[in-house]
Amino acid sequence: MITQKTTLNMVIGFPLDHTQSPLLHNTVYQHLKIDAVLMAFAHPEIAPLISAIKTLNVGLIAVTMPFKEAVIPYLDVCTEEAKNLSAVNTIIQKNDALHGYNTDITGIEYALRNVALHQKNVLIIGAGGASRALGYVLKKHQAQLFWLNRTKEKALSLISTFGGQAIDREALHEIHFDVIVNTTPLGMHPNIDQSPIPHEIFKQDQTVFDMIYNPLETKFLKQAKIAGATTVSGIDMFIAQGIQQIALWQNKNIHTTDIEQLAKKAFALKRST
Ligand code: ATR
């Protein structure tokens, strides 16, 4: 029940028609008996949103496109990781100060927690903001990176930061990839018939991870499954990054594994109604 003591949290971005953060956060708040509500605030400019956050004493702010970099100058404190990535997806307001974090890294680590990465060949499809967070994690694990992107210059820019080499579509069949990750929007609702690479590239001994979570199983993952590969849906990353946001705000450990099934049930329920 919403009372006079209920904390207001926000997801900010523009547009926000497809954000699932309210569903995830409000499901977890209810489960953990946290007296808060998270609501979506879509606005094309960041400055008025920051003013609203400070005026209303908002506790947690989930930050999405296009503000992940734009919020950084407004922060009082920011983690080194988020600064290095030039991307903040979480702000916590405490003692009148704004603290910035990047929990996409935690989300990626969680999605790939059962996958061997050290010295493994990893194909990264795309070279946007999500690929940067992935490159950061994979560099830490000393994986061998192969970058496939529509705009090669963007891949080369990420290579200068995270290492690895660019690869052309025509050369994909020449390398054996242990892990393949899609970071592009290809296959996302409503364009569910798209897939970023041909199905021949998938093999039985691979792990294939799609950062898209709508639909839960993309064409890319369906093709990988048919080839016998192990698949990981973007929903695992999305849930883990959101739970880490709540853990940072509440300043306590919350185990994703304890809440993953509950959150997935909430997503399934929403889809069926
Ligand atoms: P984000 O920053 O959130 O990761 P993005 O910048 O919208 O998302 O896109 C991520 C990647 O998907 C980009 O590298 C983009 O390719 P470009 O660098 O050429 O822009 C890639 N991408 C987006 N739409 C695509 C499409 N229709 N075909 C191929 N790649 C696409």
Residue with tokens 């910035």: 100
Distances in Å between the Cα of 58 and the Cα atoms of 55, 73, 192 are: 8, 18, 36
Q: In what order do the strands lie in the sheet with 144-148?
A: 165-166, 144-148, 121-125, 179-182, 207-210, 230-232
- Give just the sign of the alpha carbon dihedral 183, 188, 191, 194: positive
Does residue 271 carry a pLDDT above 80?
no
Q: Tell me how far the alpha carbon of residue 184 lies from the centroid of ligand 1, in angstroms.
A: 5
133/177 Cα distance (integer angstroms): 20
Q: Residue of the nearest CA to atom 30 in ligand 1?
A: 150
Structural contact between residues 37 and 54, judged by C-beta atoms closer than 8 angstroms: no
pLDDT at 71: 98
Q: Give the pLDDT mean for 259-266.
A: 89
Share above pLDDT 70 across residues of the chain, in percent, rounded to a whole number: 99
- Mapping DSSP to helix (H, G, I), strand (E, B) and coil, where does residue 158 land? helix
Does residue 273 carry a pLDDT above 80?
no
pLDDT at 3: 92
Q: Residue of the nearest CA to atom 26 in ligand 1?
A: 186
- In terms of Cα–Cα distance, which of 175, 182, 177, 183 is closest to 229? 177
Strands (DSSP E) found in 131-221? 144-148, 165-166, 179-182, 207-210
Condensed to tens digits (0 to 9), the pLDDT of residues 64-113 reads 999 999 999 999 999 999 999 999 999 999 999 999 999 999 999 999 99
- In terms of Cα–Cα distance, which of 61, 62, 104 is closest to 237? 104
Q: Tell me how far the alpha carbon of residue 130 lies from the centroid of ligand 1, in angstroms.
A: 10
Q: Give the pLDDT mean for 145-172.
A: 97
pLDDT at 244: 97
178/122 Cα distance (integer angstroms): 6
Q: What is the pTM of this model?
A: 0.95
φ, ψ of residue 191 in degrees (nearest 5): -90, 55
Average pLDDT, the chain: 96
From 33, 68, 225, 252, active-site residue:
68
Q: What share of the chain is helix, strand, coil (3-state, %, to 5)?
A: 40, 20, 40
Q: Tell me how far the alpha carbon of residue 126 lies from the centroid of ligand 1, in angstroms.
A: 6
Indicate if 222 belongs to the active site. Answer: no
130/135 Cα distance (integer angstroms): 9
Condensed to tens digits (0 to 9), the pLDDT of residues 175-187 reads 999 999 999 999 9
Q: Which residue has the higher pLDDT, 262 or 36?
A: 36
Q: Give the pLDDT mean for 215-223.
A: 96
Does residue 21 carry a pLDDT above 80?
yes
Residue with tokens 């005026």: 55
Q: Residue of the nearest CA to atom 10 in ligand 1?
A: 128
pLDDT at 1: 84
Does residue 11 carry a pLDDT above 70?
yes
pLDDT at 257: 85
Does residue 121 carry a pLDDT above 80?
yes
Q: Give the pLDDT mean for 139-164.
A: 97
- Output the ligand 1 site: residues, CB below 6 A: 65, 126-131, 149-151, 154, 183-186
Q: Give the pLDDT mean for 222-233.
A: 98
pLDDT at 134: 98
